[in-house]
A = this chain, B = another copy of it.
C-alpha cells in the first residue's frame, strides 16, 4: 500500500533514531515518534518530484532527513506562492484536519522520514504530551506564516531579499557559507517577487560588498549588520 502511494526506491524502516540537521535543534520528530515508539519509515524523492498535492488526503507526516522541500499554493493561471521551505530536521505535512492545505515537492533529491498521521492522532488521543507537541508545531508554522504575511504585504523588494538571506543564513549556513538548494524562481515565489527582481537585489548586495558569491547558489554573508538594517 505504501508502494501505491509513493513510487520511489529503497524504503528503510526504523524506530526513533536521530538525524543530523545543519544546526543542533530539538529533534521534533524524535520528540514524538521516538517518545511514543512509533515506526518511522525512510523514503526518498528525486529532484522536482511531488510529495503530495494541494487538498490531497493527509496520510503521512514528514521530516526532512537530507535535501529540501517547498510547500506552495497555485492560482488557476499558474501563479505560485511558496509558503515555506523545509530543510533537514524540519517537520512538514502535519495537519490537524484531514487534507494538505499546500502541495509539497522535493527541490533537490530528498530523503524524508515519515509516520502515519493516524498513528500520531492515536498517540495524541492518549498522551497529552504528544497532543501538546503537535499543537506547538502547528503554532510554530503559524508564527512563520504571520511573519511572512508582514513581508509579503508590506516590505520592499530589497527588504524581502534581506529577510530571506538572514533566514537562510540562520537555517542552513555551514561555516559562514550557505548552499541554497532552490533556484531564483523559487525564491521569487517565496518572496512574492519575480526571479529578475530577486537577481537584481542580490547583485546590488554583491556590489555593495554585503555578500559574496561562489556560483549563483553559494552565498557568504559579509555584513549581517548592514543586512539587518536593510530589513526594516
Residues of chain A whose beta carbon lies under 8 Å from any beta carbon of chain B: 73, 75-77, 79-81, 83, 95-97, 101-102, 124-126, 128, 131-132, 134-136, 138-143, 145-150, 152-155, 189, 191-192, 232
Contact = CB atoms under 8 A, between A and B. Distances in A.
A144 to B, nearest CB: 9
Nearest to A159: B75
B75 A155 contact: yes
Contacts of A136: 96-97
A73 B146 contact: yes
Contact of A152 (B76, B80, B143, B192): B192
A192 B139 contact: no
Contacts of A191: 153
A135 B147 CA distance: 20
A143 to B, nearest CB: 6
A232 B124 contact: no
Contact of A80 (B124, B154, B189): B154
A143 B98 CA distance: 13
Q: Which 8 A-B pairs have the closest CB atoms?
A: A96-B139, A153-B192, A145-B145, A152-B152, A131-B131, A135-B135, A81-B153, A81-B150
